Amino acid sequence: MKCPKCNHNHSRVADSRQSEDARTIRRRRECENCGYRFTTFEKIEEIPLLVIKKDDSREEFSRKKLLRGLIRSAEKRPVTSEQMEKTVDIVEHRVRKLGKAEVTSTQIGEFMMEELVNLDEIAYIRFASVYRQFKDMSVFLSELEDIVKRANKKES
């Protein structure tokens, strides 16, 4: 593994830990040349997954794109980066569990919204407003009413 500080090609593994979901391994490495310590993640290489967009075009699934959308939705909300990463992990796992080489952006959006509604209601509304492209206030109010109903069910 190449050192990010000095670009030396040899490092030793100082510590390895499995992630909570047992899908990745976190490794702390130390450069044999300069002693710099850095972290790498080892993950099973998944089969390429294509996303079918609303206009029927296709693009490769991007975990980073999903995370960016979540970060924008949760901006200035009490949602930690760990919670966001975990949410994206869950959504990606659900998408890959479908076992298909292609999945619609609609399905990914629905998975994301199912996770977001339990994470942060404001982030959920923000994500939904972009994802569902609210055309008018009545659609927005309908979404809010659904959230209030879910919150009332939780309290009961």
List, for residues 35-58, the tens digit of each pLDDT value: 999 999 888 776 789 999 989 999
pLDDT at 106 over 80: yes
> Does residue 4 lie in a domain region?
no
pLDDT at 152 over 80: no
Cβ-based neighbour number of residue 103 at 10 Å: 19
Q: What is the DSSP string of 111-125?
A: HHHHHHHHH-HHHHH
CA-derived radius of gyration, the chain: 20
Domain identity same for 71 and 109: yes
**Residue-level pLDDT at 70:** 95
**Residue-level pLDDT at 81:** 92
- Helix, coil or strand: residue 58: strand
pLDDT at 137 over 80: no
**Residue-level pLDDT at 156:** 67
Domain identity same for 21 and 90: no
Domain identity same for 25 and 87: no
* Number of domains making up the chain: 2
92-97, Cβ contacts within 8 angstroms, sequence gap of 24 or more? 92/61, 92/63, 92/66, 93/21, 93/23, 95/49, 95/61, 96/46, 96/49
State the residue range of the domain holding 30: 11-43
**Residue-level pLDDT at 64:** 94
Tens digits of residue pLDDT in 51-89: 999 899 999 999 999 999 999 999 999 999 999 999 999
> Does residue 1 lie in a domain region?
no
> Does residue 144 lie in a domain region?
yes
Q: What are phi and psi of 6, to 5 degrees?
A: -115, -5
